[in-house]
């Protein structure tokens, strides 16, 4: 069953997974694409259970990246976007670290990358779940095979290295939806 909006429930024991989110019909911080632009319907809201790509709140993304089925994806707003065949989920961009490529409020389409045989396409944008939470960044080779360099497109943010062991899940960004 589809719900109109999603807002995180907050408590100190929250693990940040989608299962911690509560769907509400009137979230003032969310406006569907169809409400902003009626000209070209490039995406439509899914009408059947399990159809479409789930829109995951960034603070609940850890479970979505790992593919845990405890994540209640059926409670998420889902969209059918033909251009994003193969996308596993959509998430909103938060912050300015990837400006000018991505703006805060953009929605990126992501395809999970298996952790069992992790292979990075250097300089591509990924969503990675780390010890410090989810990041949307470019990935480049690190100083050795056990580290990767995390790079923002915004030059105001310095690159930094993290150990590969601090990465819990990875998804390749395969597209973006920008609302005006």
Neighbour-count burial of 159, counting CB atoms closer than 10 A to its CB (0-12 exposed, 13-18 middle, 19+ buried): exposed
Q: Whole-model pTM above 0.85?
A: no
At residue 59 the predicted structure's pLDDT band, cuts being 50, 70 and 90, is: low
> What gap in Å lies between CA 26 and CA 113, rounded to an integer?
34
Q: Is the dihedral of CA 15, 94, 137, 4 positive or negative?
A: positive
Q: Which domains does the chain have, with CATH numbers?
A: 5-177 (2.10.109.10)
Region of poorest pLDDT, from 4-18, 83-97, 146-160: 4-18
Locate 48 and state its tokens: 């059947």
């Amino acid at each position: 069953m589809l719900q109109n909006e999603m807002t995180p429930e907050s408590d100190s024991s929250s693990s940040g997974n989608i299962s911690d989110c509560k769907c509400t019909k009137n979230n003032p911080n969310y406006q569907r694409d169809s409400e902003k632009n009626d000209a070209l319907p490039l995406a439509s809201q899914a009408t059947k259970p399990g159809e479409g790509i789930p829109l995951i709140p960034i603070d609940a993304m850890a479970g979505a990246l790992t593919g845990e089925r405890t994540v209640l994806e059926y409670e998420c707003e889902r969209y059918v976007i033909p251009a994003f065949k193969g996308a596993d989920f959509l998430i909103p961009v938060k912050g300015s670290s990837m400006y000018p490529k991505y703006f805060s409020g953009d929605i990126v389409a992501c395809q999970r990358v298996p952790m069992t045989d992790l292979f990075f396409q250097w300089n591509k944008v990924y969503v990675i779940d780390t010890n410090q939470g989810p990041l949307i960044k470019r990935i480049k080779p690190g100083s050795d095979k056990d580290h990767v360099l995390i790079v923002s497109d915004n030059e105001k943010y310095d690159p930094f290295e993290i150990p590969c062991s601090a990465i819990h899940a990875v998804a390749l960004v395969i597209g973006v939806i920008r609302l005006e």
